Amino acid sequence: MTLFCIIRVAAFIMRAVSLNIESAGENLGLFIATEVLLQTGFFGLLYSIYTLVVDRLELCGSSPLPIPIIGRLLELFKKRRLFRIALIIPVALSIASINIISNDPTSSNGAALRKGAALLFLVLTALQVLQTVVLIRAEREGQDTLRYYSSSFGAKHASLIFGLIAILLLIREVFSVATISNLAQANNEHFWYPLVALPELLCATLYTIPGVIPSV
């Protein structure tokens, strides 16, 4: 979490500089570095909630969702290595698209890679929301025992907090996909801060609730 905060602070500072200083906004290296930091930070947030949810699911022995395809897909993505690979792909696509678009703004390849990255992130985030639903369902059915190991608020209500984090991340990604074809709107600070920066800040705050992250 400390690393995430450092990355995010650096990204926000670089974004603010590029928006307010004309010469900085034209600096290709600064633009690419900012976007890479933003994507890396989101990777960390999504993978963190994934790890916490899967760890808890393994302890409570949850049953899959009674929806054949989605249920199997969620079970498949409990494999950590597979999920990491799935997350790395959109990060790589996003970085590649930034590089292409920065050199040729009219490139169809760059736009296609950017759309592909955004859609993959959205799908993975949506799957994580469903995975969290499975956990909440398991706890409601009385299968979970982890929450009784601690009397802290975070430990008792961890699955609901995980669900809130997942929804906040989903809001961020829905905005990213909705504005995928309109860079001006996507970078408009009146939309970007409440729909991208604020959800991430709230997620980071929720992680700090005592008991949410189990102590060893």
Query: Does the pLDDT at position 150 exceed 70?
Result: no
Copy the structure tokens of residue 85.
């690979």
In this structure, the chain runs to a length of 216
Q: Answer yes or no: are the C-beta atoms of 210 and 152 closer than 8 Å.
A: yes
Burial label for 61, CB within 10 Å (0-12, 13-18, 19+), is exposed
State the pTM of this model.
Answer: 0.84
Copy the structure tokens of residue 167.
């929804």
Copy the structure tokens of residue 126.
């949506």
Other beta carbons within 10 Å of 101 = 19
Lowest-confidence segment of 32-36, 131-135, 136-140 by average pLDDT: 32-36
pLDDT digits (tens, 9 = 90+) for 24-65: 445 556 666 677 777 778 888 899 999 999 988 887 766 666
Query: Does the pLDDT at position 66 exceed 60?
Result: yes
Residue type, 152: S
Query: Does the pLDDT at position 203 exceed 70?
Result: yes
Question: To 10 degrees, the CA torsion angle through 92, 95, 100, 102?
Answer: 180
Burial label for 85, CB within 10 Å (0-12, 13-18, 19+), is exposed
Give the torsion sign (CA, 110, 40, 192, 174).
Answer: positive
Instruction: Report d(CA 147, CA 101) in Å as an integer.
Output: 47
Give the N- to C-terminal CA distance of the chain in Å, as an integer. 16
Helix axes 28-60, 158-178, angle to 10 degrees: 150
Q: Give the pLDDT mean for 4-11.
A: 70
Give the start-to-end residue ranges of the domains of the chain: 2-207
For residue 12, which of 207, 195, 197 has the smallest C-alpha distance?
197
Instruction: Report d(CA 108, CA 3) in Å as an integer.
Output: 35
